[in-house]
Amino acid sequence: MEEQGNTSQLKKALITIFAVLFVDQLVKFYVKTNFAYGDSFDFLGLSWFQIQFVENPGMAFGWEIPFLPKDGAKLLLTSFRIVAVSLIAYYLWQKIKSGKIGGMVYSLALILAGAIGNIIDSVFYGKIFSDSDYHIMEPASFLPDFSGKVGFLKGEVVDMFFFSARYPEWMPFDLGGGYIFPPIFNVADSAITIGVLMILLFQRRYFREQFLVDEEPVATQKTATDTVISTENNQ
Protein backbone atom coordinates (compact mmCIF):
# COMPACT_ATOMS: atom_id res chain seq x y z
CA MET A 1 0.00 0.00 0.00
CA GLU A 2 2.80 2.40 0.90
CA GLU A 3 4.57 1.73 -2.40
CA GLN A 4 1.35 2.36 -4.33
CA GLY A 5 0.88 5.64 -2.48
CA ASN A 6 4.42 6.73 -3.30
CA THR A 7 3.89 5.87 -6.98
CA SER A 8 0.68 7.92 -7.01
CA GLN A 9 2.46 10.92 -5.49
CA LEU A 10 5.29 10.60 -8.01
CA LYS A 11 2.76 10.60 -10.86
CA LYS A 12 1.12 13.75 -9.46
CA ALA A 13 4.49 15.47 -9.26
CA LEU A 14 5.54 14.48 -12.79
CA ILE A 15 2.20 15.46 -14.34
CA THR A 16 2.35 18.86 -12.61
CA ILE A 17 5.95 19.46 -13.69
CA PHE A 18 5.44 18.47 -17.33
CA ALA A 19 2.16 20.42 -17.61
CA VAL A 20 3.79 23.62 -16.33
CA LEU A 21 6.86 23.15 -18.53
CA PHE A 22 4.72 22.53 -21.61
CA VAL A 23 2.63 25.68 -21.13
CA ASP A 24 5.64 27.77 -20.11
CA GLN A 25 7.78 26.82 -23.10
CA LEU A 26 4.86 26.99 -25.54
CA VAL A 27 4.05 30.58 -24.51
CA LYS A 28 7.72 31.61 -24.57
CA PHE A 29 8.30 30.06 -28.00
CA TYR A 30 5.24 31.82 -29.42
CA VAL A 31 6.22 35.20 -27.97
CA LYS A 32 9.87 34.86 -28.97
CA THR A 33 9.10 33.98 -32.60
CA ASN A 34 6.09 36.27 -33.15
CA PHE A 35 6.93 39.45 -31.20
CA ALA A 36 9.62 42.01 -31.80
CA TYR A 37 11.40 43.00 -28.60
CA GLY A 38 9.22 45.45 -26.66
CA ASP A 39 5.99 44.67 -28.56
CA SER A 40 2.89 44.70 -26.38
CA PHE A 41 -0.89 44.55 -26.57
CA ASP A 42 -3.81 44.53 -24.14
CA PHE A 43 -4.70 40.93 -23.35
CA LEU A 44 -8.37 40.26 -24.20
CA GLY A 45 -8.85 44.01 -24.43
CA LEU A 46 -8.04 44.51 -20.75
CA SER A 47 -6.38 47.87 -20.16
CA TRP A 48 -4.75 46.67 -16.92
CA PHE A 49 -3.13 43.46 -18.22
CA GLN A 50 -0.73 43.30 -21.15
CA ILE A 51 1.35 40.82 -23.07
CA GLN A 52 4.72 42.55 -23.49
CA PHE A 53 7.84 40.83 -24.79
CA VAL A 54 11.01 41.53 -22.81
CA GLU A 55 14.00 39.44 -21.75
CA ASN A 56 15.99 39.55 -18.57
CA PRO A 57 19.27 37.96 -17.48
CA GLY A 58 18.22 37.99 -13.85
CA MET A 59 16.01 36.12 -11.45
CA ALA A 60 12.23 35.81 -11.28
CA PHE A 61 10.28 38.98 -12.15
CA GLY A 62 13.33 40.54 -13.78
CA TRP A 63 15.42 41.07 -10.65
CA GLU A 64 19.13 41.28 -11.40
CA ILE A 65 22.49 41.39 -9.59
CA PRO A 66 23.57 45.05 -9.88
CA PHE A 67 27.21 44.67 -8.77
CA LEU A 68 28.24 42.09 -11.41
CA PRO A 69 28.89 42.52 -15.15
CA LYS A 70 26.12 41.18 -17.37
CA ASP A 71 27.86 37.98 -18.53
CA GLY A 72 29.12 37.21 -15.04
CA ALA A 73 25.65 37.69 -13.56
CA LYS A 74 24.17 35.38 -16.21
CA LEU A 75 26.62 32.60 -15.44
CA LEU A 76 26.20 33.00 -11.69
CA LEU A 77 22.40 33.02 -11.83
CA THR A 78 22.22 30.09 -14.23
CA SER A 79 24.60 28.08 -12.04
CA PHE A 80 22.55 29.01 -8.98
CA ARG A 81 19.35 27.90 -10.71
CA ILE A 82 20.87 24.53 -11.61
CA VAL A 83 22.03 23.93 -8.03
CA ALA A 84 18.67 25.07 -6.63
CA VAL A 85 16.74 22.81 -9.02
CA SER A 86 18.94 19.85 -8.08
CA LEU A 87 18.30 20.43 -4.37
CA ILE A 88 14.54 20.90 -4.83
CA ALA A 89 14.31 17.77 -6.99
CA TYR A 90 16.26 15.76 -4.40
CA TYR A 91 14.08 17.04 -1.55
CA LEU A 92 10.89 16.29 -3.51
CA TRP A 93 12.10 12.75 -4.28
CA GLN A 94 13.05 12.09 -0.65
CA LYS A 95 9.66 13.33 0.59
CA ILE A 96 7.85 11.11 -1.91
CA LYS A 97 9.95 8.07 -0.94
CA SER A 98 9.24 8.66 2.75
CA GLY A 99 5.51 8.85 2.14
CA LYS A 100 5.37 12.09 4.14
CA ILE A 101 4.67 14.60 1.41
CA GLY A 102 0.87 14.78 1.33
CA GLY A 103 -0.53 17.85 -0.44
CA MET A 104 2.90 19.47 -0.49
CA VAL A 105 3.65 17.43 -3.63
CA TYR A 106 1.87 20.04 -5.77
CA SER A 107 3.65 22.98 -4.13
CA LEU A 108 7.12 21.52 -4.57
CA ALA A 109 6.33 20.33 -8.10
CA LEU A 110 5.20 23.84 -9.10
CA ILE A 111 8.36 25.41 -7.66
CA LEU A 112 10.56 22.81 -9.36
CA ALA A 113 8.78 23.18 -12.73
CA GLY A 114 9.09 26.97 -12.62
CA ALA A 115 12.78 26.80 -11.84
CA ILE A 116 13.38 24.29 -14.66
CA GLY A 117 11.40 26.45 -17.09
CA ASN A 118 13.65 29.46 -16.52
CA ILE A 119 16.78 27.29 -16.62
CA ILE A 120 15.82 26.11 -20.11
CA ASP A 121 15.80 29.76 -21.25
CA SER A 122 19.14 30.52 -19.62
CA VAL A 123 20.90 27.41 -20.91
CA PHE A 124 19.51 26.96 -24.43
CA TYR A 125 17.76 30.08 -25.74
CA GLY A 126 21.04 31.84 -26.49
CA LYS A 127 21.93 28.99 -28.86
CA ILE A 128 18.62 28.12 -30.54
CA PHE A 129 17.20 31.61 -31.20
CA SER A 130 18.57 34.63 -33.02
CA ASP A 131 18.95 37.91 -31.16
CA SER A 132 16.05 39.95 -29.79
CA ASP A 133 16.58 43.57 -28.77
CA TYR A 134 15.36 47.10 -29.45
CA HIS A 135 17.71 47.46 -32.44
CA ILE A 136 16.20 44.49 -34.30
CA MET A 137 12.52 45.25 -34.81
CA GLU A 138 11.47 41.76 -35.86
CA PRO A 139 10.79 38.44 -34.14
CA ALA A 140 13.62 36.05 -33.42
CA SER A 141 14.34 33.09 -35.67
CA PHE A 142 14.31 29.54 -34.34
CA LEU A 143 17.48 27.56 -35.12
CA PRO A 144 19.14 30.33 -37.18
CA ASP A 145 21.94 29.66 -39.66
CA PHE A 146 24.53 30.80 -37.11
CA SER A 147 24.86 29.14 -33.72
CA GLY A 148 22.81 31.62 -31.73
CA LYS A 149 23.82 34.98 -30.28
CA VAL A 150 25.65 33.65 -27.20
CA GLY A 151 26.93 30.41 -25.77
CA PHE A 152 25.28 27.94 -23.45
CA LEU A 153 24.40 29.15 -19.94
CA LYS A 154 24.23 32.77 -21.16
CA GLY A 155 20.69 33.00 -22.55
CA GLU A 156 18.09 35.39 -21.19
CA VAL A 157 14.71 34.52 -19.69
CA VAL A 158 11.67 35.40 -21.80
CA ASP A 159 9.02 37.40 -19.91
CA MET A 160 5.65 38.58 -21.18
CA PHE A 161 2.95 39.15 -18.53
CA PHE A 162 2.55 42.70 -17.28
CA PHE A 163 -0.04 44.20 -14.93
CA SER A 164 -0.23 47.74 -16.29
CA ALA A 165 -2.72 49.02 -13.70
CA ARG A 166 -1.56 52.19 -11.95
CA TYR A 167 -2.21 53.77 -8.56
CA PRO A 168 -4.54 56.79 -8.54
CA GLU A 169 -2.72 60.10 -8.90
CA TRP A 170 -3.73 61.19 -5.40
CA MET A 171 -1.88 58.32 -3.68
CA PRO A 172 0.84 59.54 -1.22
CA PHE A 173 4.50 58.45 -0.83
CA ASP A 174 5.23 58.91 -4.56
CA LEU A 175 2.88 56.05 -5.42
CA GLY A 176 0.49 58.21 -7.42
CA GLY A 177 0.50 57.25 -11.09
CA GLY A 178 3.01 54.43 -10.56
CA TYR A 179 2.47 50.81 -11.55
CA ILE A 180 0.86 48.67 -8.86
CA PHE A 181 2.99 45.65 -9.84
CA PRO A 182 5.80 46.73 -12.18
CA PRO A 183 7.72 43.44 -12.77
CA ILE A 184 7.09 41.61 -16.05
CA PHE A 185 6.93 37.85 -15.50
CA ASN A 186 6.21 34.50 -17.18
CA VAL A 187 4.43 31.20 -16.56
CA ALA A 188 7.46 29.76 -14.73
CA ASP A 189 7.59 32.74 -12.35
CA SER A 190 3.86 32.30 -11.68
CA ALA A 191 4.32 28.59 -10.90
CA ILE A 192 7.09 29.36 -8.41
CA THR A 193 5.00 32.07 -6.74
CA ILE A 194 1.91 29.87 -6.51
CA GLY A 195 3.96 26.99 -5.08
CA VAL A 196 5.50 29.21 -2.38
CA LEU A 197 2.11 30.76 -1.51
CA MET A 198 0.55 27.31 -1.20
CA ILE A 199 3.23 26.29 1.31
CA LEU A 200 2.73 29.50 3.31
CA LEU A 201 -1.07 29.23 3.29
CA PHE A 202 -1.40 25.50 3.88
CA GLN A 203 1.70 24.75 5.95
CA ARG A 204 -0.36 23.73 9.00
CA ARG A 205 -2.27 21.23 6.89
CA TYR A 206 0.93 19.91 5.31
CA PHE A 207 2.62 19.40 8.68
CA ARG A 208 -0.54 17.80 10.09
CA GLU A 209 -0.52 15.31 7.19
CA GLN A 210 3.13 14.53 7.90
CA PHE A 211 2.38 14.11 11.63
CA LEU A 212 -0.42 11.64 10.87
CA VAL A 213 1.93 9.62 8.65
CA ASP A 214 4.54 9.56 11.43
CA GLU A 215 1.96 8.45 14.00
CA GLU A 216 0.43 5.68 11.89
CA PRO A 217 3.25 3.10 12.37
CA VAL A 218 3.23 3.74 16.12
CA ALA A 219 -0.53 3.24 16.28
CA THR A 220 -0.27 0.05 14.21
CA GLN A 221 2.50 -1.31 16.43
CA LYS A 222 0.49 -0.51 19.57
CA THR A 223 -2.58 -2.30 18.20
CA ALA A 224 -0.53 -5.37 17.36
CA THR A 225 1.03 -5.40 20.85
CA ASP A 226 -2.38 -5.10 22.52
CA THR A 227 -3.67 -7.98 20.41
CA VAL A 228 -0.78 -10.23 21.48
CA ILE A 229 -1.28 -9.35 25.17
CA SER A 230 -5.01 -9.99 24.92
CA THR A 231 -4.40 -13.39 23.32
CA GLU A 232 -1.92 -14.39 26.05
CA ASN A 233 -4.36 -13.36 28.78
CA ASN A 234 -7.15 -15.42 27.24
CA GLN A 235 -4.88 -18.43 27.20
Decide if 42 is catalytic.
no
Question: What is the DSSP annotation of 111-166?
Answer: HHHHHHHHHHIIIIIHHHB---STTS-SPPPBS-SSS-SS-TT---EEEEEEEEEE
Residues 102/214, Cβ–Cβ less than 8 Å? no
Measure the CA–CA gap between 63 and 10, rounded to whole angstroms: 32
Q: Please, is 189 exposed, middle or buried when counting C-beta atoms within 10 Å of its C-beta (0-12, 13-18, 19+)?
A: buried
24 is catalytic: no
Mean pLDDT by 10 residues, the chain (235 residues): 75 96 97 93 89 78 56 73 92 88 89 94 86 80 68 81 89 85 92 94 75 52 51 55
The per-residue pLDDT for 29 is 96
- Euclidean distance between CA atoms 196 and 203, whole angstroms: 10
Per-domain residue ranges of the chain = 2-234
Choosing from 39, 42, 131, 159, the catalytic residue is 159
Per-residue pLDDT at 218: 47
The one catalytic residue among 24, 121, 133, 189: 189
